[in-house]
Structure 1
Protein backbone atom coordinates (compact mmCIF):
# COMPACT_ATOMS: atom_id res chain seq x y z
CA UNK A 1 0.00 0.00 0.00
CA UNK A 2 1.41 3.37 -0.94
CA UNK A 3 0.91 6.50 1.13
CA UNK A 4 2.49 9.92 1.07
CA UNK A 5 4.41 11.29 4.02
CA UNK A 6 4.37 14.91 5.17
CA UNK A 7 6.96 15.79 2.50
CA UNK A 8 4.94 14.26 -0.33
CA UNK A 9 7.25 11.26 -0.70
CA UNK A 10 5.62 7.93 -1.41
CA UNK A 11 6.02 5.31 1.30
CA UNK A 12 5.13 1.67 0.71
CA UNK A 13 4.06 -0.57 3.54
CA UNK A 14 2.11 -3.78 4.11
CA UNK A 15 0.52 -5.41 7.13
CA UNK A 16 2.72 -8.51 6.83
CA UNK A 17 6.50 -8.48 7.06
CA UNK A 18 8.84 -10.11 4.57
CA UNK A 19 9.36 -12.87 7.13
CA UNK A 20 5.63 -13.63 7.06
CA UNK A 21 5.57 -13.51 3.26
CA UNK A 22 8.50 -15.94 3.02
CA UNK A 23 6.88 -18.30 5.53
CA UNK A 24 3.61 -18.21 3.57
CA UNK A 25 5.38 -18.78 0.24
CA UNK A 26 7.12 -21.83 1.69
CA UNK A 27 3.86 -23.06 3.22
CA UNK A 28 2.28 -22.94 -0.25
CA UNK A 29 5.23 -24.74 -1.84
CA UNK A 30 7.55 -26.56 0.60
CA UNK A 31 9.95 -27.56 -2.19
CA UNK A 32 10.25 -24.09 -3.75
CA UNK A 33 13.68 -22.80 -4.71
CA UNK A 34 14.73 -19.73 -2.73
CA UNK A 35 15.03 -17.85 -6.02
CA UNK A 36 11.31 -18.46 -6.61
CA UNK A 37 10.41 -17.54 -3.02
CA UNK A 38 12.40 -14.31 -3.39
CA UNK A 39 10.62 -13.46 -6.64
CA UNK A 40 7.21 -14.12 -5.09
CA UNK A 41 7.95 -11.99 -2.03
CA UNK A 42 9.75 -9.23 -3.92
CA UNK A 43 13.12 -9.48 -2.18
CA UNK A 44 16.58 -10.50 -3.32
CA UNK A 45 17.63 -14.13 -3.15
CA UNK A 46 20.18 -13.18 -0.48
CA UNK A 47 17.43 -11.53 1.61
CA UNK A 48 15.27 -14.65 1.24
CA UNK A 49 18.20 -16.79 2.43
CA UNK A 50 18.67 -14.56 5.48
CA UNK A 51 14.95 -14.67 6.27
CA UNK A 52 14.86 -18.48 5.97
CA UNK A 53 17.87 -18.65 8.30
CA UNK A 54 16.01 -16.42 10.80
CA UNK A 55 12.89 -18.57 10.56
CA UNK A 56 14.90 -21.75 11.00
CA UNK A 57 16.80 -20.34 14.00
CA UNK A 58 13.48 -19.25 15.51
CA UNK A 59 12.04 -22.75 15.15
CA UNK A 60 9.39 -21.81 12.58
CA UNK A 61 10.72 -24.15 9.88
CA UNK A 62 13.22 -26.91 9.29
CA UNK A 63 15.27 -27.47 6.13
CA UNK A 64 15.93 -30.97 4.84
CA UNK A 65 18.25 -31.59 1.92
CA UNK A 66 16.60 -33.75 -0.76
CA UNK A 67 19.07 -34.33 -3.56
CA UNK A 68 20.19 -30.92 -4.75
CA UNK A 69 17.18 -29.10 -3.32
CA UNK A 70 15.80 -28.18 0.07
CA UNK A 71 12.46 -29.27 1.39
CA UNK A 72 10.93 -27.23 4.19
CA UNK A 73 8.79 -28.43 7.08
CA UNK A 74 6.89 -25.76 8.97
CA UNK A 75 6.17 -25.65 12.68
CA UNK A 76 2.61 -24.33 12.98
CA UNK A 77 2.80 -24.34 16.79
CA UNK A 78 5.48 -21.64 16.83
CA UNK A 79 4.34 -18.47 18.59
CA UNK A 80 4.39 -14.96 17.18
CA UNK A 81 7.42 -13.04 18.41
CA UNK A 82 5.81 -9.71 19.25
CA UNK A 83 4.46 -9.59 22.83
CA UNK A 84 1.07 -8.38 21.59
CA UNK A 85 0.55 -11.62 19.64
CA UNK A 86 2.78 -14.02 21.60
CA UNK A 87 -0.22 -16.02 22.79
CA UNK A 88 -1.10 -16.97 19.18
CA UNK A 89 0.44 -19.68 17.03
CA UNK A 90 1.64 -18.95 13.49
CA UNK A 91 -0.45 -21.89 12.29
CA UNK A 92 -3.53 -19.65 12.36
CA UNK A 93 -1.83 -17.21 9.99
CA UNK A 94 -0.72 -20.05 7.74
CA UNK A 95 -4.24 -21.47 7.64
CA UNK A 96 -5.74 -18.07 6.89
CA UNK A 97 -3.54 -17.46 3.86
CA UNK A 98 -2.87 -20.94 2.49
CA UNK A 99 -6.14 -22.86 2.70
CA UNK A 100 -8.35 -23.10 -0.32
CA UNK A 101 -11.42 -20.92 0.08
CA UNK A 102 -14.58 -22.94 0.62
CA UNK A 103 -16.75 -23.50 -2.41
CA UNK A 104 -19.91 -21.39 -2.50
CA UNK A 105 -22.86 -23.17 -0.98
CA UNK A 106 -25.24 -24.72 -3.51
CA UNK A 107 -28.78 -24.33 -2.17
CA UNK A 108 -29.98 -27.14 -4.46
CA UNK A 109 -27.47 -29.61 -3.04
CA UNK A 110 -29.06 -29.37 0.42
CA UNK A 111 -32.63 -29.52 -0.82
CA UNK A 112 -33.34 -25.95 0.26
CA UNK A 113 -35.03 -23.28 -1.77
CA UNK A 114 -33.56 -19.84 -2.32
CA UNK A 115 -36.98 -18.26 -1.87
CA UNK A 116 -38.07 -19.67 1.47
CA UNK A 117 -35.01 -21.30 2.96
CA UNK A 118 -37.20 -24.33 3.66
CA UNK A 119 -37.22 -27.82 2.16
CA UNK A 120 -37.81 -28.13 -1.58
CA UNK A 121 -41.38 -28.35 -2.70
CA UNK A 122 -42.81 -26.21 0.09
CA UNK A 123 -43.00 -23.00 -1.94
CA UNK A 124 -46.53 -21.89 -2.76
Structure 2
Protein backbone atom coordinates (compact mmCIF):
# COMPACT_ATOMS: atom_id res chain seq x y z
CA UNK A 1 0.00 0.00 0.00
CA UNK A 2 1.39 3.41 -0.92
CA UNK A 3 2.08 5.99 1.77
CA UNK A 4 0.19 9.13 0.77
CA UNK A 5 -2.46 11.35 2.34
CA UNK A 6 -5.09 13.75 1.07
CA UNK A 7 -3.71 16.71 3.01
CA UNK A 8 -0.25 18.24 2.92
CA UNK A 9 1.98 18.75 5.92
CA UNK A 10 0.88 22.40 5.83
CA UNK A 11 -2.72 21.30 6.22
CA UNK A 12 -1.81 18.95 9.05
CA UNK A 13 0.06 21.66 10.97
CA UNK A 14 -2.75 24.16 10.43
CA UNK A 15 -5.37 21.65 11.59
CA UNK A 16 -3.35 20.83 14.71
CA UNK A 17 -3.04 24.51 15.58
CA UNK A 18 -6.77 24.98 15.01
CA UNK A 19 -7.46 22.23 17.52
CA UNK A 20 -4.77 23.15 20.07
CA UNK A 21 -3.18 26.61 19.87
CA UNK A 22 -0.62 25.75 22.56
CA UNK A 23 1.08 22.81 20.85
CA UNK A 24 4.84 22.83 20.75
CA UNK A 25 6.82 22.43 17.55
CA UNK A 26 8.02 19.08 18.87
CA UNK A 27 4.45 17.86 19.49
CA UNK A 28 3.36 18.96 16.02
CA UNK A 29 6.39 17.30 14.44
CA UNK A 30 5.63 13.97 16.09
CA UNK A 31 1.94 14.05 15.16
CA UNK A 32 2.59 15.06 11.53
CA UNK A 33 5.61 12.78 11.15
CA UNK A 34 8.11 15.42 10.02
CA UNK A 35 11.19 17.03 11.53
CA UNK A 36 11.02 19.96 13.90
CA UNK A 37 12.89 22.06 11.34
CA UNK A 38 10.29 21.24 8.67
CA UNK A 39 7.54 22.18 11.12
CA UNK A 40 9.28 25.49 11.86
CA UNK A 41 9.48 26.25 8.12
CA UNK A 42 5.78 25.50 7.70
CA UNK A 43 4.91 27.75 10.65
CA UNK A 44 7.08 30.55 9.21
CA UNK A 45 5.31 30.23 5.84
CA UNK A 46 1.87 30.24 7.48
CA UNK A 47 2.82 33.36 9.48
CA UNK A 48 4.24 35.09 6.39
CA UNK A 49 1.03 34.44 4.44
CA UNK A 50 -1.16 35.52 7.39
CA UNK A 51 -2.76 32.14 8.07
CA UNK A 52 -1.58 32.16 11.69
CA UNK A 53 -0.27 34.64 14.25
CA UNK A 54 2.33 33.72 16.85
CA UNK A 55 2.62 35.30 20.29
CA UNK A 56 5.15 34.46 22.98
CA UNK A 57 3.90 33.25 26.35
CA UNK A 58 6.97 32.92 28.53
CA UNK A 59 9.16 30.32 26.84
CA UNK A 60 6.29 28.97 24.75
CA UNK A 61 4.43 30.14 21.68
CA UNK A 62 0.69 30.52 21.33
CA UNK A 63 -0.74 30.27 17.85
CA UNK A 64 -3.86 31.93 16.52
CA UNK A 65 -5.31 30.55 13.31
CA UNK A 66 -6.84 33.27 11.14
CA UNK A 67 -10.00 31.27 10.63
CA UNK A 68 -11.73 33.61 8.17
CA UNK A 69 -8.81 33.35 5.74
CA UNK A 70 -9.61 31.48 2.53
CA UNK A 71 -7.69 28.52 1.14
CA UNK A 72 -5.27 29.30 -1.68
CA UNK A 73 -5.96 26.76 -4.41
CA UNK A 74 -8.45 27.64 -7.13
CA UNK A 75 -10.59 24.58 -6.30
CA UNK A 76 -10.94 25.51 -2.61
CA UNK A 77 -10.66 29.30 -2.63
CA UNK A 78 -14.29 29.72 -1.56
CA UNK A 79 -13.67 27.74 1.63
CA UNK A 80 -12.45 29.32 4.83
CA UNK A 81 -9.91 27.76 7.16
CA UNK A 82 -12.65 27.58 9.81
CA UNK A 83 -14.68 25.24 7.58
CA UNK A 84 -11.91 22.65 7.50
CA UNK A 85 -11.01 22.98 11.17
CA UNK A 86 -14.68 22.50 12.06
CA UNK A 87 -14.80 19.27 10.04
CA UNK A 88 -11.73 17.96 11.86
CA UNK A 89 -13.06 18.96 15.29
CA UNK A 90 -16.48 17.46 14.55
CA UNK A 91 -14.99 14.19 13.31
CA UNK A 92 -12.79 13.91 16.42
CA UNK A 93 -15.82 14.54 18.65
CA UNK A 94 -17.82 11.73 17.05
CA UNK A 95 -15.02 9.15 16.97
Pairwise same-fold verdict (TM > 0.5) = yes
Aligned to 2:82: 91
- Report how many aligned residue pairs link the two structures: 94
> In the alignment, does 2:42 pair up with 1:55?
no
Bigger fraction of residues in helix: 2
> In the alignment, does 2:15 pair up with 1:24?
yes
Encode CA deviations 1:13-49: one digit per residue, 9 max, x unaligned: 1001100100111122111110111001000000000
Aligned to 1:38: 29
Aligned to 1:101: 93
Structure 1 CA distance for aligned equivalents of residues 77 and 5 of structure 2:
20
Structure 1: tracts of 5 or more residues without a match: 4-11, 103-124
TM-score computed with the length of structure 2 as normaliser: 0.91
Cα deviation for residue 101 of structure 1 reads 2.9
Structure 2: tracts of 5 or more residues without a match: none
Q: Which protein, 1 or 2, shows the higher relative CO under an 8 Å CA cutoff with sep ≥ 6?
A: 2
Cα RMSD of the aligned pairs, angstroms, is 1.6
Asked which structure has the greater CA Rg, the reply is: 1
Runs of 4+ in 1 over 2 A off after TM superposition: 99-102
